Structure 1
């Protein structure tokens, strides 16, 4: 993800290709990026976050899969990816046995749903992520897709706030 903050005006003034590239760093769904870009200019941070929420609400299941493709497995942050490592920082210091359980639960989830387990990991420990994974595993595909939609929205909100230089 881009290391330097942007202003809303700079984002709105970016040419289409540059804005698309910036937004795809936030969320890897092309349909999401297009919907957020179409909502510009954003009057303030809240309107950008509202554009995120509206874009997420409009995504089909296939678009959710596009968005999830940009996320590392819980328990396996992408090496060298500062965003992935920061978002999964709650794994640091977790015992090996807990991380093994997380990997096993991830594999069972992926076998059932056909995609990575997605959760807004920011501020969560390995134990709370494992508990959430186990709690969500019995869901049916439609229920899980709506939970994933909500988790993606939260992740995108955090990433958009970071893009604008806010923690």
Structure 2
């Protein structure tokens, strides 16, 4: 029986175009994906995770906005904005079971936030309830624009790390995205 390869070996063995596509599932920023790819192959998962973070830290507002734009609004529904699917739906499952009042609050505050800052509200939603997300949205609305951009970038970094975990698990299970 052949020995199963570890996820890092599988990631390192992907052709560059496929590896880039997989990285873009974690963070939809072209420059970031290209930078991470430039550092491959990785000797360990720890090195890979440090590289993801270092490459994200080297990005600026233009790249952050590119990545932010791929995210659906928390609690999006109807014609409000694109609905979450795949990993996003799993990440936002705390909003999926929210009552109508909380969902309405999320829709209203998302619009206010977007009008003020010009980008979608980002929060690492994994494990958070809709009430927690709404409270964070309301609190962060009062930030200065530059502060909020930095907070959103940090939340995106957390999301990217969680998605990288999912990517590695998917590679281990033989599941990769289709180009």
TM-score, normalised by the number of residues in structure 2 = 0.85
The count of residues paired between Structure 1 and Structure 2 equals: 161
CA–CA distance in structure 2, aligned partners of residues 147 and 21 of structure 1: 26
> Equivalent of 1:105, from 109, 133, 137?
109
Measured in 2, the distance between the counterparts of 1:107 and 1:26 equals: 25
**Alpha-carbon contact 2:94-2:129 (below 8 Å) kept:** yes
Q: Secondary structure of the residue that 1:107 maps to in structure 2?
A: helix
- C-alpha offsets along residues 20-53 of structure 1, whole Å, 9 cap, x if unaligned? 1111111110011111111212121111111111
RMSD: 1.6
CA distance in 1, matches of 2:94, 2:124: 11
Unaligned runs of at least 5 residues, structure 2: 1-5, 171-179
Q: In the superposition, relative to structure 1, how do residues 103 and 86 fare at CA in structure 2: closer, same or farther (>3 Å)? A: same
Q: 2:121 aligns with which of 113, 117, 130?
A: 117
Q: Which runs of 5+ in 1 are unaligned?
A: 1-5
- Aligned: 1:87 with 2:101: no
Secondary structure at the aligned position of 1:165 is classed as: helix
* TM-aligned CA distance change 1:97 to 1:71, over 3 Å: same
Deviation at 1:132, TM superposition (A): 0.5
CA distance, structure 1, for counterparts of residue 83 and residue 104 of structure 2: 18
- The answer for the alignment partner of 2:11 in structure 1 is 11
Name the structure 1 match of 2:175. Answer: none
Following TM superposition, where does structure 1 have runs of at least 4 consecutive aligned residues deviating by more than 6 angstroms? none
Question: Is 1:54 aligned to residue 54 of structure 2?
Answer: yes
Structure 1 SS opposite 2:169: coil
Q: What is the CA–CA distance in structure 2 between the aligned matches of 1:37 and 1:26, rounded to whole Å?
A: 13
Q: State the partner residue of 1:150.
A: 154
Counting only pairs closer than 5 Å after superposition, residues 27-38 of structure 1 correspond to structure 2 as 27-38=27-38
